[in-house]
Structure formats: structure tokens, C-alpha cells
Amino acid sequence: MDAHYLIEVGSLLLRWLHLIVGIAWIGSSFYFVWLDNTLKPPVDPALKEKGVGGELWAVHGGGFYNPQKYLVAPKNLPDDLHWFKWESYSTWITGFFLLGVLYYSQAATYMVDPAKADLSPGAAIGIGLTTLIVGWLVYDTLCRVLMRRSLLLFAALYFVFVVAVAYLLSHLLSGRAAFLHVGAMIATTMSANVFFWIIPGQKTTVAAMQRGETPDPIHGQRAKQRSVHNNYLTLPVLFCMISNHYAFTYNHPQAWLVLALILLAAVLIRHFFNLRHKGVFAWQYPAVGGLILAGVFAWLAPAPISRSTGENGQNPALTVQDIQPVLAARCTGCHSATPTLMPAAPAGVLLDTPEQIRANGPRLLTQTVQLKAMPLGNVTQMTEAERQKIADWAAGGYR
């Protein structure tokens, strides 16, 4: 069976599973942060006596629910206790395998950009894996050193670190691989929080109760701290995960700054919702976040395409036959009914015939000239002169 086809099938199944378990993890994260911010002190003296610090009445799906949160832990450990951990672990595992199938197994195409750095596929993979490990170590160190001193300083330094990683990766890897690995680094940190802090803290609390001891509240406080961090990091990770579909973001000469601004806007918007759950309507956070996004997208807007001028000072009048050899050499390895570089033409775009080329003319102009997103990683070495030829053809009306 064709290897490209197997990669395509593996990508489909892993992406689907990654999406399913990711929704479960993000959904539980959003829910529990919302729950913590919405709980009210109990009125019933019996609940206070039991150690309940907050409760909430809710209705959903036709049923009434009354979740309660204990200040530290209940006096008696229940027999059936649900642990929220596999949502996180399965999201990271499927994401890592998806990264391997899509990027590491095809690093020469998806990770290496000769225009940025002369890297071997192995070196590019090594940089990607190192990023995941170093990202966790730096974050965890900052947490240990600064969280009891200054939350604002911690947040500022961690943001600077993420931006520095984005800057470095954008000068070493292809744009899409750089953005994806920033997201994978943050996602690895989130899952490591669950594995190294949140679940161990909960297990320590449970173990103390099983020994008949009063649990130390510090374990729950640390776990909650990391859980809140994960909540703020969710929107940045989600953007990085979908960014590979939007070349106008990662192909910009200052792609690292584009990413930094979008991640900052995402955190500000998430902060608004967290405050809103507490009854605080801090409109300035989404307003600033929205302005940042609007400014970024205005900055990224493609410039008008200029036409070439021939020796006689006239614009060349090109037809589809003039650009067809360029497309045959640079594009039909993927965008053909019988592609050689892919199992099937991406997005169903075919460039075999003049009719197909004319029908996809605006997309050709956008992807090859304005965004320079195609050919992917410029694996077929399309030249600037060839891109200009496509621009001249488009300016003449896609004849």
C-alpha cells in the first residue's frame, strides 16, 4: 500500500481522536475554572459543618445539579472518586503522534526551510523535541521561583520566554512548523502540569486521608494554581494548532511578532471570561484584545500586486499557456489528478488543464504570490521570477 496514503489515513484518524479528547480536556478545564469562580458560600449550616466552602445550583438537560467544593477535603473519603487526568494525557499522546505523522516523518517537506537555515531533517526534528522539553523546564522553574513572590512578574517573564522561542524557531524552521511547535511546547507544559503537579497533589491529599490524617491544603492550592495556568494557555495553544491552515500568519517576515501579538490577545480575552465568571465585567480586556487582533490583521493584509514592465514599457499580456510550464514544474507534483508528492491533491485543487488553472486563478495568485505559502516549504524551488509571471497573468484577467 502506498506510503503517502498510509500517512494520510494515520493523519485523519489521529487528528480526529486528538480533537475528541482535546475537547474533553478543554471542556473540563473551562468548566472547573468557571465553577470555582461561580461557587457561593453555603447557607446551610450542615454544609459548613461538613467543610463545604462553596456550592452552586444549576440546571442542565432537564436535571438539577448541586456541585459542592470542600475547603480542603471531605471528612470521609468517598468510595467512588473520579480523576480528571486521562483527558489531558490522551490529548498530549495523540497530539505527539500526530506531530510525528505529519511533521517528523516528513520533516524535509514540512519542517525544513532552506531559505532560513541549512538543516537536515534530523536536526529539525531535534530542535522540535528540544523545544518541548526546555519549554516545560523553564516554565516549571519560573513557577517554583516566582509564584509566591509576584504573579505579574512570572506572567511577564514566561510571555517573554514564549516570544523568544517563537523568534528562534521562526528563524530555524519553516513558518508552519515554528508556530506548531510553540503550541506543542505550551501544550506539553499544560499536560506536564497535570502529570507532575495536579494529579500528584491530589494523590497526596487522598493518601493522607486514607492514613486518617488531615491533608495539607498546600497540595490543593498548588494544583489549582497550575490548573488556572492551563486555562489561560488554552486559547494560545488552539490558535497555534489551527495556524497551519493560514499561511498569511506564519509566512510573514516577522512571524514571531505576529504570533506574540495574537497569543497576547488570546490571553486577554480569556482573562475577561474568567473575571466575568466572578461577576466582574472588565470590558477593557476583550477591547484591547480585539484591537490587537484587528491591528495584526490589518498589518498582514497583502499589498497590491504590481505588474512587470517589458522592454517596450508595456505590461506583458500573458495567457494560461505562458504559466502552464511553471505550474507543471512547481505545482502539479501535488495539484494533479495523478500527483507524485501527495496521495491526493490538497483541497481538491487540480492544475492539469487550462480550464482548471483559470478556475483556480485567484487562489493561485493568493497562495503563490501574495502569501508565498505554496509550494509548501517551496520544496519545488519556485523562483521569484516565476511568481511574478503568475502575478502578471492574473493582472491580465486570468486569460
Decide if 120 contacts 128 (C-beta within 8 A).
no
Average pLDDT value for residue range 234-256:
92
Which residues pair with residue 68 across a beta bridge?
55
Q: Is the pLDDT of residue 275 over 90?
A: yes
Which pLDDT does position 139 carry in this prediction?
97
- The candidate with the shortest Cα–Cα distance to 128, out of 187, 85, 88, is 187
pLDDT confidence tier of residue 161, bands split at 50, 70 and 90: very high
Helix, strand or coil, per DSSP, at residue 293: helix
Q: Is the pLDDT of residue 75 over 90?
A: no
What crossing angle do the helices spanning 284-300 and 255-277 adopt, rounded to 10°? 160
Cell output for 7: 500517512
Average pLDDT value for residue range 354-358:
92
The chain-wide mean pLDDT, for the chain, equals: 90
Q: Is the pLDDT of residue 188 over 60?
A: yes
Residue type, 305: I
Helix, strand or coil, per DSSP, at residue 55: strand
Cell output for 237: 495553544
pLDDT confidence tier of residue 316, bands split at 50, 70 and 90: low
More confident residue, 287 or 215: 287
Cell output for 285: 480586556
pTM of the model: 0.86
Helix, strand or coil, per DSSP, at residue 258: helix
Least confident of 135-139, 308-312, 371-375: 308-312
Least confident of 103-117, 258-272, 279-293: 103-117
Helix, strand or coil, per DSSP, at residue 58: strand
Task: Please list the alpha-helical segments (H only) found in 212-368.
Answer: 217-242, 247-250, 255-277, 284-300, 320-330, 354-359, 361-364
